[in-house]
Amino acid sequence: MIFSKIESAPREEIEKIQLKRLKEVLKRVYHLSRFYKNKFDEMGITPDDIKSLKDIQKLPFTRKQDLRDNYPFGLFTVPMSEVVRIHSSSGTTGKPTVVGYTATDMDVWNEVMMRIYAMGDVTSKDVVHNAYGYGLFTGGLGFHEAAQKLGATIVPASGGFSERQLMLMRDFGATVLCATPSFALHLAEVARREGPEFKKDYKLRVGFFGAEPTSEGLRKEVAKAWQIEYVEVYGLSEIIGPGVSASCNKGIGLHINEDHFYPEIIDPETGKVLPEGEEGELVITTLTKQALPLIRYKTGDITKLHREPCACGRTFVRMDSVKGRADDMLIINGVNVYPSQIEHVIANYEDVSLNYQIVAAKKGYLDKLEVIIEVNENVPFNEENLNKIKKDLIHKFLNNLYINAQIDLVKPHTIERSMGKAKRIIDKRK
């Protein structure tokens, strides 16, 4: 089901809208943001210099640090009397990044989220169980309001309290689950204790999962555990929250809502725009945001773009699932490794589960990588069997990722479970 005509419009029409909106947002930031006016003036650029979409490469990048340096409202382009909502990051590494929304921004957010719900055929007949966290985090309320606008029944469960979540899903007849994939897998793990046929007690048919980089293996595991369609959702609070892109059930990749968010792929080191199909850092320019428009925002997320037609009928460009963050990449003795690559190896070995942690440390002058993994419940936990599994996994990591990894196998339910985003990486070298 396609929610809006623009999603399947000819490319020429989409690009015409993008250029018109790009010119408008550049005038907005140039005249209303001291930060951007200074940046443009330093580079000798004015909005009138942008004649085509390719000219966007002349513009400066915006970084997360710029939001922190202008904390809390220094990048807003409207007076606070027009800001109807504020969200922010946790600020665990310093000042949080703060984002604001006007009433029009909220309309845009609801629009793109309703498009995403349409990818899972959600209607007013559905009961949506929302297990994303509510509060300053954009996930919970992002999924909440759009479901309400569609007329669906929304259950604002938020995170944590696994047994209670499962009770509500059963008793309220949830047909849609919104959660991080790691928490959805955790819920399935808890539900399995009720018996191998636990799924018959639930009416779930589709799930909307995001907020953390995810391997193909984890996506398949969640879909299999709950026997549902898996819709992958991508977003980030600085741009809007969830709603930047999502996967359909016909093609590969996530359709970006291009009429609101203009994407580029750059080399994260040089900043050079890369040719279509090459992997690099995703950069996004907001085309319609009022309170916090961002020009060429460096997301830090590693992916690639595809513009060939999709079988679903949508003509929006597609992005691959995020491979990882540029700053999450581990360099192990000169080899670049993303956690999602490690997860993919684990997912394809049936004797172990997808509950794992990656520990990077130093041994003398060399890097040491330890991967702690839970074995599956039906696997004998004896020395002979564990040694075989370790040997197999060491071989797979070496062959697939060209790294020597120490494998530590632990019993089921040993590694602490996540109630939201999974804490996968512990880098002791920093």
Residue 250's SS3 state is coil
- The DSSP output letter for 387 is H
For the chain, domains (ranges, CATH) are 1-325 (3.40.50.12780), 330-427 (3.30.300.30)
Q: Which two tokens stand for residue 25?
A: 């947002």
Give, in order, the Cα–Cα distances in Å from 76 to each of 8, 82, 129, 206.
32, 10, 33, 37
- Please identify which residue in the block is written with the tokens 């609070």: 237
- Please identify which residue in the block is written with the tokens 């996994």: 393
Average pLDDT by stretches of 10, the chain with 430 residues: 96 98 98 98 97 98 95 97 92 75 98 98 98 92 97 95 95 97 91 88 97 86 96 96 96 96 96 94 98 97 93 96 81 79 90 93 84 94 95 92 91 78 80
Question: How many CB atoms lie under 10 A from the CB of residue 368?
Answer: 17
Provide φ and ψ at 207, rounded to 5°.
-135, 150
Longest pairwise C-alpha distance within the chain = 71
C-alpha closest to that of 131 among 180, 174, 87? 180
CB contact at 8 A, 221 and 207: no
Distance separating alpha carbons of residues 259 and 66, to the nearest angstrom: 25
Q: What is the pLDDT of residue 93?
A: 47
Tell me how long the chain is. Answer: 430
CB contact at 8 A, 356 and 415: yes
Residue 311's SS3 state is coil
Distance separating alpha carbons of residues 359 and 364, to the nearest angstrom: 16
Order of strands across the sheet that contains 425-427 = 405-410, 366-375, 352-363, 425-427
CB contact at 8 A, 174 and 153: no
Q: What is the pLDDT of residues 75-130, one digit of tens each?
A: 999 999 999 999 997 654 467 899 999 999 999 999 999 999 999 999 999 999 99
Distance separating alpha carbons of residues 111 and 149, to the nearest angstrom: 9
Q: Please name the amino acid found at residue 234.
A: Y
CB under 8 Å to 430, separation ≥6 — which residues? Answer: none
Q: Which two tokens stand for residue 425?
A: 């990486």
- 236 alpha-carbon distance from chain centroid: 7
Please spell the DSSP secondary structure of 123-135, one letter per residue: -TT-EEEE-SPPS
Write down the pTM of the prediction: 0.85
CA atoms within 13 A on the CB side of 219: 20
CB contact at 8 A, 30 and 37: yes
Q: Which two tokens stand for residue 375?
A: 């074995």
Percent of all residues in the chain with a pLDDT value above 90, rounded to a whole number: 77
- 422 alpha-carbon distance from chain centroid: 13
Q: What is the pLDDT of residue 424?
A: 84
Distance separating alpha carbons of residues 303 and 276, to the nearest angstrom: 11
Q: Which two tokens stand for residue 331?
A: 């360099």
Provide φ and ψ at 143, rounded to 5°.
-75, -30
Parallel, antiparallel or unpaired: strands 280-286 and 85-88? unpaired
CB contact at 8 A, 56 and 36: no
Q: What is the pLDDT of residue 159?
A: 86
- 86 alpha-carbon distance from chain centroid: 20
Sign of CA dihedral 164, 155, 96, 113: positive
Please spell the DSSP secondary structure of 365-425, one letter per residue: TEEEEEEEEEEPTTS--SHHHHHHHHHHHHHHHHHHH---EEEEEE-TT-SPPPSSS---E
CB contact at 8 A, 355 and 415: yes
Percent of all residues in the chain with a pLDDT value above 70, rounded to a whole number: 97
Q: What is the pLDDT of residue 335?
A: 78
Distance separating alpha carbons of residues 65 and 58, to the nearest angstrom: 21
Helix axes 339-347, 383-401, angle to 10 degrees: 130
Q: What is the pLDDT of residue 429?
A: 83
- Please identify which residue in the block is written with the tokens 């259950």: 155
